[in-house]
A and B are shown apart, each in its own frame.
Chain A
């Protein structure tokens, strides 16, 4: 399997829980496509 390292990212978003993320279809797409590897709730 070929791995090529690209740009990584850290982003923030308003919300309290996973439902808030799911309600934002654009951002949820990043998660569905596994482009976001970790979600941290503060």
Chain B
């Protein structure tokens, strides 16, 4: 489990040493840590599933800027769009939330002037996390899936399970005689595939096309029009626009499906 060290390397050496000392004192911390919160002129906090604790290290504003420069590979300007969206995805699929003094022009965020907090969310792909629900989702009679809605409170693993489900559906499931399907994934916040410079950092399957950093509405329509998926997937639906796009997808038929239409007469 080296994910945490993928993240720590972005911190100034003093912070790195402090964190390494704490993590080496308890191996369970390395495995269970979910996030590292950095706040200007306040202690560092480590977050776990049901708790968090502070470390006796006060982060300076200068150190926050140093961290941001490292994350942006010394070119904050090149990452401006991501910063204005409030997060940056780094190699390994880890996401850094960014907040501070926002500059707005014509109703749009054009800059974050003084970054005051960074939230490093440690990405961990849990292979086979969807095993318990596979039989519910897969329609083995027709070698397809049921249109499925997975519901749970925040932080309980919906995204982790969705990711694993898409991977299995895309690759096929030998044990269930299920052939792999072309999947289209709308990764609105870059949390599912966690694409970094065009490469998914998480395994979402060999037949999966990913569109990220786009609304679910636009992303679904783009996938339907350009990639002809057999299955579309997205996380955290809830708005009227999300539902309209889903209705568009579920009612759509690609040219291939028209040619392959099959009939059953009663």
* A residues adjacent to B (C-beta < 8 A): 1-16, 20-21, 24, 26-27, 29-31, 35-42
Q: Which residues of chain B have C-beta atoms less than 8 A from A20's C-beta?
A: 151
Main secondary structure of the interface of A (DSSP, over half): mixed
Q: What size tier do the contact residues of chain B reach?
A: 35 or more
Residues from chain B with Cβ under 8 Å of A37 in the complex: 146-148
Query: A7 to B249, Cβ gap below 8 A?
Result: yes
What's the Cα separation between A39 and B146 when bound, in Å?
10
> Taking CB as reference atom, which chain B residue is nearest A2?
B263
Could you say which residues of chain A place their CB within 8 Å of the CB of B174? none
Residues of A within 8 A of B238 (CB): 13-14, 24, 26-27
Interface residue from B156, B232, B237 paired with A7 (Cβ < 8 Å): B232
Beta-carbon contacts of B133-176 to A below 8 Å, as 1s and 0s?
A: 10011000010111111111110111101100110010000000
Nearest Cβ on chain A to B81's Cβ, whole angstroms: 26
- Of the A-B pairs whose beta carbons lie under 8 Å apart in the complex, a sample of 26, sorted by A's number, is A1-B265, A1-B266, A2-B264, A4-B253, A5-B261, A7-B224, A7-B231, A7-B232, A7-B250, A7-B253, A8-B250, A9-B231, A9-B233, A9-B250, A10-B165, A11-B149, A11-B233, A12-B150, A12-B236, A15-B152, A26-B242, A26-B243, A35-B147, A35-B247, A37-B147, A40-B136
Closest CB-CB distance, B219 to chain A, in whole Å? 13
Q: Does B16 contact A (CB under 8 A)?
A: no
Main SS at interface, chain B: mixed
Measuring CB to CB, which residues of chain B are less than 8 angstroms from any residue of chain A?
133, 136-137, 142, 144-154, 156-159, 161-162, 165-166, 169, 224, 229-240, 242-243, 246-247, 249-254, 257-258, 260-266
- Do the beta carbons of B266 and A15 come within 8 Å of each other? no
Determine whether the beta carbon of B150 is less than 8 Å from that of A14.
no
A33, B242: Cα distance in complex, Å = 16
Distance to closest chain B CB from A36 (angstroms) = 5
Q: How far is the CA of A30 from the CA of B239 in the complex (A)?
A: 12
Which of A5, A10, A16 meets B233, CB within 8 Å?
A10
Instruction: Please report the C-alpha to C-alpha distance between residue A40 and residue B154 in the assembled complex, in whole angstroms.
Output: 15
Are A42 and B253 in contact, with the CB atoms below 8 A? no
* Contacts beyond the supplied A7-B230, A36-B149: 17 A-B pairs with Cβ under 8 Å: A1-B264, A1-B266, A4-B258, A7-B252, A8-B230, A11-B150, A12-B159, A13-B149, A14-B153, A14-B154, A26-B239, A26-B242, A35-B247, A40-B149, A40-B151, A42-B158, A42-B161
